Structure 1
Amino acid sequence: MATATTILASVPPEYQWPVEFCAATTAAVWILSLITSNVSQVDRLWTFLPTIYTGYYALLPLWPEEPLFFLFPYSPKSLGWAVAKTFSPRALLIFGVVFVWMSRLSYNTYRRGLFRLSDEDYRWAVLRTKLPAWLFQVVNLTFIAATQNVLLLLLGFPAKVAATQPHTTLAPSDIALGALALVVLGFEFTADNQQWAFHAYKHAHEATEKGKAGVAPYDKREHWPGAGLDFTPEDAKRGFITRGLWAYSRHPNFLCEQSFWWIITLIPLLSPSPPHLIRTTFATHPIPSLSAILENPATLLPFLAPLADVAPALSLTALFFSSTLFTESITVNKYQRKYRAYQQRVGMFSPLRTWEKGLKLAWRGNKAAVESVVWGRDKKE
């Protein structure tokens, strides 16, 4: 306990409670994963933890200077009056937008049944079959439990930047980026709902084909606006959605998720208050030579500082890119030729890649053949 207290005391005051809470959460989900033999415990917290960390920074004036009990949020006196005793309008804006993000993700997680303690992400089950039991438990501790919790902590840091910079009134950049974040969430919600509607159609179609009773027919009017698409039997036989937003990106929900956190990260960095994304260090410090870097690696710090500012979004993008590659490797094994055709025609994230892939296929003369697999005869231009 003394060692833990000493380590915590060395942490800067603005990070003390979040780091303490992150360490406790990491230990809790890891122990629960061992007890339940289910490593998705942290997955169920994805929807809440970034909002908790963001709310902590946005609501700093509400917290006492000392914790009332274990893990109760507190605002150390060393933060200073301007930070700990006055609200930051920019941090409150970030908290409000992130709360909307949490509501969307919680709704989608709930209806998919992922809040059930017995549910486990299918990707972990696949990974378990590919690794020795001892190595899987190493991955469980280091990546599934620890790394993901640290990433969720990082997602609260844009609010930390906003809370610790001068508490000025909202600037036009804040309003514009906040509105853009809500628009992105609208697209993400639509992508989620289109995928949900597709699986409803697929389930109903398969039940009809097999003569199963008790399955309601697909009615697009029962789904959210923009989600009730005109699916065809060919879509159901293909097995995965390629219509709506999914015709422009293989993972439009992932694209929106990454875009959302880049916007949140940029809100305080593009505001009139420092720190700014483009730092004056680039203009005032000459680029160090390789020999100077090898002699003293600290000479790189002024040039790496901007990367630290965008670490939340950068880390999330790295995670999504690697996890999507793993997810698609599983999907290719399941759908093989059909999904490979989808990969040939539609970009993983960016719609610009979809446009580029279409041009390449047209130049090679096999665009129509690939599109017949991806969209079928009923594709609407």
Structure 2
Amino acid sequence: MEDSSCDLISSALEIISQKGNPYYNVSLLCLFVSLLVFVVSTITKNYSQVDKLWSIIPFVYTWMTVVDQRTLLMAIVATIWGIRLTYNFSRRGGYKWPVWTGDEDYRWEYIQEGHYLPILNNQIAWMLFNLGFISIYQNILLLLIVTPSLVAWTVATDAGCTSSDLNVLDFVAAFLVLFFVIVESIADNQQYKFQTEKYKKINAKEPLTGEYADGFCQSGLFSIVRKPNYAAEQSIWVSYYIFSIAASGKVLNWSIIGVILLILLFQGSGRFTEKLTLMKYPEKYALYQKRVPLYVPNMLALGKSDTGVSETTPLMEKKAS
């Protein structure tokens, strides 16, 4: 039930400037990390410094809000998400020593060359983009996606709010988060296995057939949506937002901002990734785009067994046969 006496926005604005509480502490940490990654990325020219923290810093924020059973549950599921994603990033070469090295997201090079916005091939424009978007905005986003934890903390500690025990919605949220973590894990494993096998065949100079000849994964979850890991990541944080509803009784509260901004980021990021893949495999990927949706499965097509890819015949040969 909604508690009309609990003004979450007013409470947040009143608390944020008070030292020693989660609002103040997470904001201070976010500012520090934003400036740190800007300095490090500018010096090293490796612009994936935020990527190294993407799966770590959000669950650190959640542990800074733990005050009751609900916020503890939220921190636990966020940590499970973070550990799994950190492992996946690590096995792809994301972490090396020194810590500021490691794999850089290939998209930054294309963006820096002006493929996304032509002005970004200018050094000053790129520096401002690195400061404003890569370093500051992305770190603010990583804080915003876990702000349901701040809402739950507010409800539990603000005398003007009626605190509630764990309820059905909390367990629904936890179940959904963990479910989509599993989906994301399966998608990442399928992609990792595909890429490993593809380059193994290439290095061994073996003939490539089927999706290996096409160059990109189209089986498993990738036969249902083109970006299953992206879809799962967005779903995880939509599910995490449900915790704030369970805590406050408000279907809409200010922490939904993080969910909305994350979804918008993935729309732009996903489309740009699609553009680069289409540049690399113009004909084959165009056919894949027509056959398989980007994020949301086509329920009418799920029952069809034909994925459009043969294990022994390259896609374009199959289409021509």
Query: What letter corresponds to residue 133 of structure 2 in structure 1?
Result: F
In the TM superposition, 1:343-354 aligns within 5 A as 343-352=289-298
Query: What letter corresponds to residue 260 of structure 1 in structure 2?
Result: I
Residue matched to 1:57: 65
Query: What letter corresponds to residue 108 of structure 2 in structure 1?
Result: W
* 1:176 Cα offset (Å): 2.1
In the TM superposition, 1:84-103 aligns within 5 A as 87-103=67-83
Residue matched to 1:112: 92
SS of structure 2 residue aligned to 1:351: coil
Distance 1:126 1:161 in 2: 38
Matched, 1:246 2:222: yes
Residue matched to 1:124: 108
Assess if the C-alpha contact under 8 Å between 1:25 and 1:149 holds in 2. Answer: yes
* 1:240 Cα offset (Å): 0.3
Distance 1:189 1:104 in 2: 7
Residue matched to 1:184: 180
* 1:38 Cα offset (Å): 1.4
SS of structure 1 residue aligned to 2:129: helix
- Residues 311 and 324 from structure 1, CA distance in 2 versus in 1: closer, same or farther, beyond 3 angstroms? same
In the TM superposition, 1:3-22 aligns within 5 A as 11=17, 14-22=22-30
Residue matched to 2:35: 27
Alpha-carbon RMSD? 2.7
Query: What letter corresponds to residue 235 of structure 2 in structure 1?
Result: S
Residue matched to 1:319: 265
Residue matched to 1:263: 239
Distance 2:308 2:33 in 1: 51
Unaligned runs of 5+ in 2: 1-13, 115-120, 157-162
SS of structure 2 residue aligned to 1:120: coil
Deviations 1:212-234 (A, max 9, x none): xxxxxxxxxxxxxxxxxxxx722
- Residues 354 and 39 from structure 1, CA distance in 2 versus in 1: closer, same or farther, beyond 3 angstroms? farther
- Residues 40 and 27 from structure 1, CA distance in 2 versus in 1: closer, same or farther, beyond 3 angstroms? same
In the TM superposition, 1:1-381 aligns within 5 A as 11=17, 14-58=22-66, 87-116=67-96, 117-118=100-101, 119-130=103-114, 131-166=121-156, 167-209=163-205, 233-269=209-245, 271=246, 273-277=247-251, 306=253, 308-352=254-298, 355=301
Deviations 1:8-59 (A, max 9, x none): 997365421111111111111101111111111111110111011111112x
Question: Which has the larger Rg?
Answer: 1
* 1:195 Cα offset (Å): 0.4
Query: What letter corresponds to residue 171 of structure 2 in structure 1?
Result: I
**Structure 1: 4+ residue segments shifted above 2 A:** 8-14, 116-119, 166-169, 207-211, 352-356, 372-378
- Residues 36 and 174 from structure 1, CA distance in 2 versus in 1: closer, same or farther, beyond 3 angstroms? same
Assess if the C-alpha contact under 8 Å between 1:205 and 1:233 holds in 2. Answer: no
- Pairs aligned (count): 282
Distance 1:235 1:10 in 2: 52
Range that drifts further, 242-251 or 116-125: 116-125
Query: What letter corresponds to residue 342 of structure 1 in structure 2?
Result: Y
Query: What letter corresponds to residue 274 of structure 1 in structure 2?
Result: S
Residue matched to 1:286: none
Assess if the C-alpha contact under 8 Å between 2:26 and 2:143 holds in 1. Answer: yes
* 1:208 Cα offset (Å): 3.0
Q: Percent identity?
A: 31
Distance 2:139 2:299 in 1: 32
Assess if the C-alpha contact under 8 Å between 2:151 and 2:248 holds in 1. Answer: no
TM-score, length basis structure 2: 0.81
* 1:204 Cα offset (Å): 2.1
Q: Tell me: higher relative CO, structure 1 or 2? Use CA pairs within 8 A at least 6 residues apart.
A: 2
TM-score, length basis structure 1: 0.69
Assess if the C-alpha contact under 8 Å between 1:49 and 1:152 holds in 2. Answer: yes
- Residues 197 and 10 from structure 1, CA distance in 2 versus in 1: closer, same or farther, beyond 3 angstroms? closer
* 1:345 Cα offset (Å): 0.8
Distance 2:61 2:16 in 1: 20
* 1:312 Cα offset (Å): 1.4
* 1:106 Cα offset (Å): 0.7
* 1:334 Cα offset (Å): 0.7
SS of structure 2 residue aligned to 1:113: coil
